[in-house]
Structure formats: C-alpha cells, structure tokens
Structure 1
Amino acid sequence: MADLDIAEVARRAGVPASTLRFYEEKGLIASTGRRGLRRQFDPGVLERLALIALGRAAGFSLDEIARVFVPDGHPHIDRRMLAAKAEELDRTIRELGALRDSLRHAAACPAPSHMECSTFRRILRAAMTGPVRRAGGGPGVLARGSRAPRP
C-alpha cells in the first residue's frame, strides 16, 4: 500500500496535523519522507496512532506510551503497567462515585441551609483534611478515600 500524506493520516486518525507533527517530534511516530512540503507516512502509522489514542484515553502520559514502542517497530505492552493503571482507574471510579453521591446529596438535601446539614458538614471536613479530587484532577468536594454520604 502506498504511503499516506499527513492530511490523509490526520483525517483517518481523527487528529489534527499539528498533533501528528508533535507526535513525530516526540518520537512516537515517524514519517517516511516528504512529497513536496507534505510529510508522508506508512499506513501502519494508523495502528500506532490508535495505540497512542488508547493509551491517552486510559490516562497514560506520552512518555509512558513512548516506552511501548520498541526499536523493532512492534509494540511491547507492559502487562504490569496495564494492571497498575487498571487499579488506579478503579480507585478513581470509587472516588468519583463518592463525589457524585456527595453532589446528589447536596442537591437534594432537605436541610434549610447546607451549613445546617450534618452530612454536608462532614463532606466539608473531609475536603479540608485531605487531598481532594475532582474529575479534572483539581480541587473538588470529597477527599480521597472519603465515603459517599448517606442521603
């Protein structure tokens, strides 16, 4: 199969050409040359881009993903790294579930004021005493390891 130009790879992979250039700069993908001013890629780059997309969706850094690509061109996926990431995702799912339950309680709390609700005050104490998380990784409502409130 003939090489694909950067625009075709970008279209098929669903990423902007600037991302492809960035990945090439980071050593995640390599062009086979140029036709005029346009980079050319082997069609196998699409599978590599799919692996990169899967790794990014799972929360791996580009540096972690780069270690998957060994010099022979075939991916070597570290099963221990996958298991560790799965455990991390399990923890995140539990934390986000607790955060969701806290928000639902706060939204439906029957107390006249949230500050009069003992459950809401426990949520606040938990947020003050430990590292707190939200979906984007920044400060949130519920501390890591806190249990979801009981409505």
Structure 2
Amino acid sequence: MLDIAEVAQRSGLAPSALRFYEKKGLLSSNGRNGLRRTYEPEVLHRLALISCARRAGFSVAEIGRFLLAMPGDTAVQQQMAVKAAALDEDIARLRRMRDSLDHASTCTHEPLVECPEFKRMLAP
C-alpha cells in the first residue's frame, strides 16, 4: 500500500490533485492509514494514463468516460476515434513547429521567421 504522499511524490502530482481525481471518480483509495489515504500500487499506472490524457487535452469528464468504457460502448468508442484524429492533427502541427524551430536555430536568414525554408516547414 502507498500513502497519498508517496503516490504524490512518485506521480509528480499534488495530493490535492489526487483527492480531486478521487472525488471525480477517476481513482479510488483503498482506505486510510491514520488520516492519510492509501492506494494500491497500480494507482500509479492509472495516474500515468490520466496525466498523459490531461496533457493531450482530455477533460476530466472525457477521461472518466474512457476509464469506464467497454467494447460495446459505441458512443465512447466514436469519441475515442474523434479524439485520436484530433491528436493526429496536433502531432502533425507540433512536428512542423519542432522542425521549423530546429531549422531556425541554425538559420542565418534575417529575420529568421522570414526564411523561406522556415515558412515552408510551418505550412500545413
């Protein structure tokens, strides 16, 4: 069993975030050790998923629906497909930005943002 402080430290999340996720039904504690909530070690895997999804732009409500989804839940599966397509667009945009910044870091064009290659790399 891990207490809330250890889960917070290992996950990089504040204890208040853990309590918030528990209140929203994304986590469940296993009980208490004195006044501190305790969790099964597997909670770290769930928190990794939650943190990744949050950084990808998922709402807490979306994550909650995804965590409860079953194979026959076509509405949630459709939402997952839409979200996957949006993430593909985000990934492509971020790659263009990364590549253009890599180019600009060694470019000699003045100003850098007017470089034809920089502009080409940013174009969709």
> 1:39 Cα shift?
0.9
Partner residue of 1:39?
Answer: 37
Q: After superposition, what is the alpha-carbon deviation per residue over 1:14-57, rounded to whole angstroms, capped at 9, x for unaligned?
A: 21211111111211111122121111112222222122122223
| Pair 1:91 & 2:96 matched | no
Partner residue of 1:148?
Answer: 123
Counterpart Cα distance in 2 of 1:21 and 1:59: 20
Aligned mate of 1:66, from 61, 64, 67: 64
Partner residue of 1:57?
Answer: 55
Summarize the alignment of residues 1-151 of structure 1 with structure 2, pairs less than 5 Å apart. 3-70=1-68, 76=70, 78-95=76-93, 97=96, 107-109=112-114, 148=123
Normalising by structure 1, report the TM-score.
0.55
- Say how many residue pairs are matched: 109
Q: After superposition, what is the alpha-carbon deviation per residue over 1:93-148, rounded to whole angstroms, capped at 9, x for unaligned?
A: 455538x86xx7963438xxxxxxxxxxxxxxxxxxxxxxxxxxxxxxxxxxxx83
Counterparts in 2 of 1:95 and 1:45: CA distance versus 1, 3 Å: closer
Question: Percent same amino acid among aligned pairs?
Answer: 49
Counterpart Cα distance in 1 of 2:52 and 2:92: 22
Paired AA for residue 58 in structure 1: A
Paired AA for residue 8 in structure 2: A
Counterpart Cα distance in 1 of 2:60 and 2:47: 12
Give the gaps of 5 or more residues in structure 2: 116-121
Paired AA for residue 52 in structure 1: I
Counterpart Cα distance in 2 of 1:61 and 1:15: 17
Give the gaps of 5 or more residues in structure 1: 111-146
RMSD: 3.4
Counterpart Cα distance in 1 of 2:24 and 2:90: 28
